[in-house]
Amino acid sequence: MVRLFVALALPETLRMQLSMLTGGIQGARWVPPENYHLTLRFIGEVEGWRADEVDEALSAIRCKPFDLSLRGVGTFEKAGKIETLWVGVEKTEGLTHLQSKIETALQRMGLDPERRRFAPHVTLARTGKAPSHKLVEWVQSHNLFRAPPVAMEHFTLFSSRLGKESPVYIPEVEYELA
């Protein structure tokens, strides 16, 4: 069994910019910069033969390159408690089109539809043990964050293994946008 997800890997310059936003909140588990990505579709645990089918389905996708723009920050809550700090992603036609094509391709090969609405973001921290007032202060002090647009020329199928500190994401296959 292998745990898979489809994502946009972020270029080094963007990862460095995002890493400058992190730190200073006790109890927050900050995502290491090498793990920053924009999830397009979480797949989950699949058998090896199924992973081959996923690769085949993703290989058939044709989409044009597009610019990715990060702007603003926010939180995800569960039961009224802030669980995640994230940087927002501008929802462009190119991004939405690619995500839709990935979803359609994976459903056609037999995967269940994604239940959650696509909310493009880059996770910066898991915050279950951090004080709420510190998280609110962080959002207020970083909410004007903007990064210059970067060209996205491929998307990636990643495998994920849970590690002690944080998961290890391995790029398995890159698919060119052309």
What does DSSP assign to residue 11? Answer: P
Tell me: pLDDT of 163 over 90.
Answer: no
Cβ atoms 43, 6 nearer than 8 A: yes
Tell me: pLDDT of 27 over 90.
Answer: yes
- Which CATH fold topology does 2-176 show? Cyclic Phosphodiesterase; Chain: A, (3.90.1140)
Q: CA 113 from chain center: how many Å?
A: 18
Tell me: pLDDT of 178 over 90.
Answer: no
CA nearest to 84, candidates 39, 130, 119:
130
Cβ atoms 105, 57 nearer than 8 A: yes
Rounded percentage of the chain residues whose pLDDT exceeds 70: 100
Structure-block tokens of residue 28 = 């927050």
Q: Is 133 a catalytic residue?
A: no
Mean model confidence pLDDT for the chain? 95
| More confident call, 150 vs 165 | 150
Structure-block tokens of residue 157 = 């199928």
Tell me: pLDDT of 164 over 90.
Answer: no
Could you say which of 97, 121, 142, 154 is catalytic?
A: 121
Query: Could you tell me the maximum CA-CA distance found in the chain, to the nearest angstrom?
Result: 47
Cβ atoms 54, 4 nearer than 8 A: yes
Structure-block tokens of residue 159 = 């495998």
Q: Please tell me the distance from the alpha carbon of residue 118 to that of residue 114, in angstroms, as a whole number.
A: 9
Tell me: pLDDT of 165 over 80.
Answer: no
Give the burial class of 162: count Cβ atoms within 10 A of its Cβ; 0-12 exposed, 13-18 middle, 19 or more buried: exposed
Instruction: Give pLDDT, residue 3.
Output: 96
Q: Is 121 a catalytic residue?
A: yes
Confidence (pTM): 0.94
Q: Which residues contact 112 (CB under 8 A, 6 or more apart)?
A: none
Tell me: pLDDT of 70 over 90.
Answer: yes
Domain ranges of the chain: 2-176
Q: Please tell me the distance from the alpha carbon of residue 75 to that of residue 85, in angstroms, as a whole number.
A: 5
